[in-house]
């Protein structure tokens, strides 16, 4: 496909479970971003990769959140020991890699922690 894809689209986890969310960016896009969107709020930045390098992880809310992009393409956001406050839509975006390039967003993964 031509766009950013994310899987799964929906995830239900019991509190304390670990989850892994996948993002497939647009081919050739250097930059990859993860955002978290709580209900009724705008997306909030979590972390940013340029190729395989994680250049900014200032938005990760706790050390339970971990992201990787080992080969500079697909990225995984992992949340350990999920809590109810982690319930949100997790959005992935990619861009060509310059600050003013358009970011293309995926449809998001809706995580519900029970």
Binding site residues, other proteins, CB under 8 A: 4, 31, 33, 35, 40-45, 48, 56, 59, 91, 93, 95, 97-108
Q: Compute the radius of gyration of the chain from its Cα atoms.
A: 13
Retrieve residue 50's tokens. Answer: 């340029």
Beta carbons of 103 and 49 less than 8 angstroms apart? no
Q: Which is nearer to other proteins, 27 or 58 (by Cβ)?
A: 58
Q: Which is nearer to other proteins, 40 or 70 (by Cβ)?
A: 40
Q: What's the min distance (Å) between Cβ of 9 and other proteins? A: 10
Query: Residue 68, Cα to own-chain centre: how many angstroms?
Result: 10
Q: What's the min distance (Å) between Cβ of 54 and other proteins? A: 13
Tokens 């689209």 identify what position? Answer: 9
Q: What's the min distance (Å) between Cβ of 98 and other proteins? A: 8
Q: Which is nearer to other proteins, 41 or 81 (by Cβ)?
A: 41
**Rounded distance between C-alpha atoms, residue 75 and residue 46, angstroms:** 13
């Amino acid at each position: 496909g031509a766009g950013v894809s994310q899987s799964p689209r929906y995830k239900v986890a019991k509190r304390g479970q670990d989850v892994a969310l996948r993002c497939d960016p647009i081919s050739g896009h250097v930059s990859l971003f993860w955002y978290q969107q709580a209900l009724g709020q705008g997306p909030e930045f979590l972390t940013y990769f340029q190729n395989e390098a994680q250049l900014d992880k200032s938005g990760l809310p706790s050390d339970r959140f971990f992201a990787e992009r080992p080969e500079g393409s697909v990225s995984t956001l992992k949340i350990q020991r999920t809590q109810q406050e982690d319930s949100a839509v997790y959005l992935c975006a990619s861009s060509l890699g310059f600050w003013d390039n358009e970011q293309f967003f995926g449809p998001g993964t809706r995580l519900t922690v029970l």
